[in-house]
């Protein structure tokens, strides 16, 4: 089999640039990165970026504050750039240069008064982006039939093409437009790389017996390649990975063609090529072995080969051979390799002298006067009909894996050799086939050739059916609050994905523990079996939100039993805010001391008398379990008083001193001078007392305003802290 790979297969320069832009941001340890829609139509690349923290958003409002938004190769409408600026987001514009050129062209002609027509798929993001540059006023046609829906246009018209549209479709649309537009100018904006890729695919498909198109089924350019190849090569397959390739008989393939869409990474193309080369090599080896066996078999027919099936009794055995009494002058010998394909077969456990068995006579005389026998041959002949029936009825066959090859597995079902291609072993990519050795598997026979003794099985189709069945059953019975046991499949920064019976659900990081968790790996590891509860689900989108933390572990439940109003408690100051201080009583439980509850005296800010890490004693004045809030008072336990009030004695002393400064040193009798000084001093002292009282009243009013103004902030702050 000759394999031809298209030179143009894989990333175009625009896609390559866009993907590299994202990976460059990751290499620079940039944060809050997201892409507006999938960066390319390839799940493997998109999932890899997601695993590394790059989110896919569908609207600008979903981006994180001050984040970086990568605009994919398809381009966007002008209002997207405006929204990015309004939300203070940095735009990384990875729009394909060919697409950007169409944007500028459409805007220019629209401003000049032309009516815009776009040849392409109206639902494709590239076409939607182009339409935005003419105020979404364009007529869009993806086929000549769509042109019939366009009214006759008297004004000047301008037509452009989606970059991935085929040349044939572009020409047919323009021919039909001649009856709709009198003044039409055409701009063939099909990407040169796209045209070359499509031409090369057509050339290879014309020569190939089988054509493989690698790429996402949601990729426009990949689907165009598939359509072109299918026209010239009926046996054309569109696969996203090698595991999607259905069973094919490569014995009748002389030329195999491989191409790939512009969104297909080189690593996937390389994997498909390597796997096909392995299958080709294996087929050549199998053909060689079959020819050698055929020559040996035909040679034995010339001698004493009987080919009969007879009965005999086991008379003895060792680790290499089994001796059988056939009732003839010579005993029969079965080599252990001809008794069973089961790698776990043990003679001492499965054989017993005197047991009667059926055997196939390979040779009457093996050169030493003994009869060469085979039990596997009998088993194979007896069960081949059962395998054929299973193939026709599409029933399941149980087999044991006996050998691992480059292209897949060899399994035995009652002596019948079944080949399981690597692509049909599982519904996921299997890196190490060795993990299946000696395992029992259930397969569906997908190819059966009795004459060539070629039987191909697939476990993948059974797994897919079971997954679909269990998934349908799950969605029919799922309800909020229902509990499941599941296995942790993967860990992301935002949570853990758990398999709960063929369906994956997400446990958000906030639902893993009552305490703060920075990463799910602090609580779980991949492979853990855990019990989860369904919080909410969306049947249409197939999304499930799960909860892992248990209500009985809620620290606030225990705190409600431990801390009562009026209790004196000890804690440590962990945060200071303008309206008070948060005191940690135990891990996960913080109480708030309002600024008015710190000291009997008025203070400007909590930091005047408290510091982070300071141990304090306080009194519980309020406990709200529902709101997860504890209010504490230090001043009712051990008040921190650092400000001294103005006393009446000090006011008298101050008034007397000021009075002596006011009264001039004049010639008055001593008794009159003392009397005047006392009188003025009393007056000043009185004013001082009034001022002190006013200050105290003002301070109380300020405290009340502070209490009233910051009470709600206090509750919100503590609620946020608790969360």
Active site residue ranges:
126
Q: What Å distances lie between residue 695 and 57, 594, 646, 706, CA to CA?
A: 58, 21, 10, 16
What whole-number distance in Å separates Cα of residue 330 and Cα of residue 315? 13
Buried b (16+ CB within 10 A) or exposed e, 424-443: bbbbeebeebeebeeeebeb
Contacts of 74 (CB under 8 A, 6+ apart): 37, 95, 96, 99, 124, 125, 126, 129
What whole-number distance in Å separates Cα of residue 201 and Cα of residue 164? 14
E strands along 60-132, which residues?
68-71, 90-93, 115-119
Spatial CA neighbour of 15 closest among 91, 70, 83: 70
The alpha-carbon radius of gyration of the chain (Å, integer) is 42
CB 262 within 8 A of CB 9: no
What whole-number distance in Å separates Cα of residue 548 and Cα of residue 553? 11
CB 3 within 8 A of CB 256: yes
CB 30 within 8 A of CB 68: yes
Give the 3-state secondary structure of residue 580: strand
What whole-number distance in Å separates Cα of residue 685 and Cα of residue 697? 18
Give the 3-state secondary structure of residue 415: coil
State residue 61 phi and psi, 5-degree precision: -65, -15
What whole-number distance in Å separates Cα of residue 501 and Cα of residue 91? 41
State residue 170 phi and psi, 5-degree precision: -60, -45
**Largest alpha-carbon pair distance within the chain?**
164
What whole-number distance in Å separates Cα of residue 158 and Cα of residue 116? 5
What whole-number distance in Å separates Cα of residue 26 and Cα of residue 53? 9
Is the sign of the CA dihedral 180, 182, 187, 188 positive or negative?
positive
Spatial CA neighbour of 372 closest among 316, 311, 305: 305
What whole-number distance in Å separates Cα of residue 487 and Cα of residue 548? 12
- Concatenating the DSSP letter of every residue in 637-661 gives TS----PPP--HHHHHHHHHHHHHH
Cα 345–349–350 angle (5° rounding)? 65
What whole-number distance in Å separates Cα of residue 623 and Cα of residue 255? 79
E strands along 548-588, which residues?
568-577, 580-586
Q: What Å distances lie between residue 152 and 106, 111, 147, 355, CA to CA?
A: 20, 21, 10, 91
Give the 3-state secondary structure of residue 107: helix
- The burial of 580, by beta-carbon neighbours within 10 Å (0-12 exposed, 13-18 middle, 19 or more buried), is given as buried
What whole-number distance in Å separates Cα of residue 566 and Cα of residue 707? 21
Distance of CA 1 to the CA centre of its chain: 38
Find the distance separating the first CA and the last CA of the chain, reported in whole Å. Answer: 64
Token output for 187? 């701009």
Token output for 426? 């599982």
Helix (H) or strand (E) holding 391: helix 375-393
Token output for 87? 């939300």
């Amino acid at each position: 089999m000759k394999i031809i790979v298209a030179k143009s297969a894989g990333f175009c320069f625009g896609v390559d640039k866009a993907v590299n832009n994202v990976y460059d941001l990751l290499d620079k340890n940039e944060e809050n990165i997201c892409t507006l829609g999938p960066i390319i139509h390839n799940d493997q690349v998109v999932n890899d970026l997601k695993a590394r923290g790059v989110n896919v958003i569908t609207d600008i409002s979903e981006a994180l504050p001050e984040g970086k938004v990568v605009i994919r190769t398809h381009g966007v409408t002008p209002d997207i750039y405006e929204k990015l600026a309004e939300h203070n987001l940095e735009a990384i514009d990875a729009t394909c240069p060919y697409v950007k050129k169409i944007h500028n062209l459409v805007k220019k002609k629209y401003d000049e008064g032309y009516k815009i027509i776009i040849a392409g798929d109206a639902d494709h993001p590239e076409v939607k982006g182009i339409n935005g540059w003419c105020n979404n006023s364009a007529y869009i046609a993806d086929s000549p039939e769509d042109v019939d829906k366009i009214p006759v246009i008297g004004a000047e018209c301008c037509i452009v093409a989606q970059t991935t549209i085929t040349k044939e479709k572009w020409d047919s649309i323009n021919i039909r437009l001649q009856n709709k537009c009198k003044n039409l100018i055409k701009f063939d904006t099909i990407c040169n790389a796209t045209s070359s890729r499509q031409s090369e695919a057509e050339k290879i498909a014309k020569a190939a017996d089988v054509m493989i198109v690698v790429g996402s089924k949601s990729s426009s350019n990949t689907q165009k390649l598939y359509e072109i190849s299918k026209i010239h090569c009926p046996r054309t397959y569109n696969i996203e990975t090698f595991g999607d390739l259905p069973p094919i008989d490569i014995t009748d393939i002389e030329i195999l063609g491989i191409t790939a869409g512009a969104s297909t990474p080189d690593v996937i193309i390389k994997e498909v090529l390597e796997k096909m080369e392995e299958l080709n090599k294996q087929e050549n080896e199998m053909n060689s072995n079959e020819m050698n066996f055929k020559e040996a078999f035909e040679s034995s027919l010339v001698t004493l080969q009987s080919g009969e099936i007879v009965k005999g009794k086991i008379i003895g055995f060792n680790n290499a051979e089994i001796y059988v009494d056939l009732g003839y002058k010579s005993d029969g010998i079965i080599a252990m390799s001809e008794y069973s394909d089961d790698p776990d077969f043990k003679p001492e456990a499965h054989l017993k002298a005197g047991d009667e068995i059926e055997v196939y006579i390979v040779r009457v005389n093996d050169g030493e006067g003994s009869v060469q026998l085979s039990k596997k041959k009998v088993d194979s002949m007896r069960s081949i009909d059962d395998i054929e029936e299973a193939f026709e009825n599409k029933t399941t066959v149980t087999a044991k894996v006996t050998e691992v090859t480059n292209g897949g597995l060899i399994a035995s079902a009652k002596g019948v050799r079944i080949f399981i291609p690597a692509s049909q072993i599982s519904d996921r990519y299997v890196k190490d086939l060795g993990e299946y050795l000696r395992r029992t598997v259930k397969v569906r026979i997908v190819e059966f050739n009795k004459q060539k003794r070629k039987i191909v099985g697939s476990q993948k189709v059974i797994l897919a059916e079971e997954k679909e069945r269990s998934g349908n059953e799950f969605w029919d019975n799922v309800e909020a609050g229902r509990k499941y046991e599941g296995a942790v499949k993967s860990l992301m920064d935002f949570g853990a994905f758990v398999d709960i019976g063929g369906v994956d659900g997400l446990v958000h990081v906030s639902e893993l523990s009552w305490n703060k968790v920075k990463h799910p790996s602090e609580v779980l590891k991949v492979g853990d079996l855990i019990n989860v509860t369904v919080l909410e689900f969306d049947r249409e989108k197939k999304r499930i939100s799960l909860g892992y933390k248990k209500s009985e572990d809620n620290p606030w439940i225990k705190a409600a039993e431990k801390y009562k109003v009026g209790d004196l408690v000890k804690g440590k100051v962990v945060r200071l805010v303008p309206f008070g201080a948060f005191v940690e009583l135990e891990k996960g439980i913080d109480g708030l001391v309002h600024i008015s509850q710190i000291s009997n005296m008025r203070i400007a800010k909590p930091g005047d008398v408290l510091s982070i890490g300071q141990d304090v004693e306080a009194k519980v004045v309020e406990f709200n379990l529902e709101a997860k809030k504890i209010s504490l008072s230090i001043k009712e336990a051990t008040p921190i008083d650092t400000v001294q009030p103005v006393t009446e004695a000090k006011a008298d002393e101050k008034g007397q001193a000021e009075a002596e400064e006011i009264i001039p040193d004049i010639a008055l009798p001593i008794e009159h001078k003392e009397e005047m000084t006392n009188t003025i001093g009393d007056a000043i002292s009185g004013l001082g007392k009034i001022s002190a009282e006013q200050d105290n009243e003002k301070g109380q009013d300020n405290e009340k305003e502070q209490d009233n103004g910051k009470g709600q902030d206090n509750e919100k702050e503590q609620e946020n802290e608790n969360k």
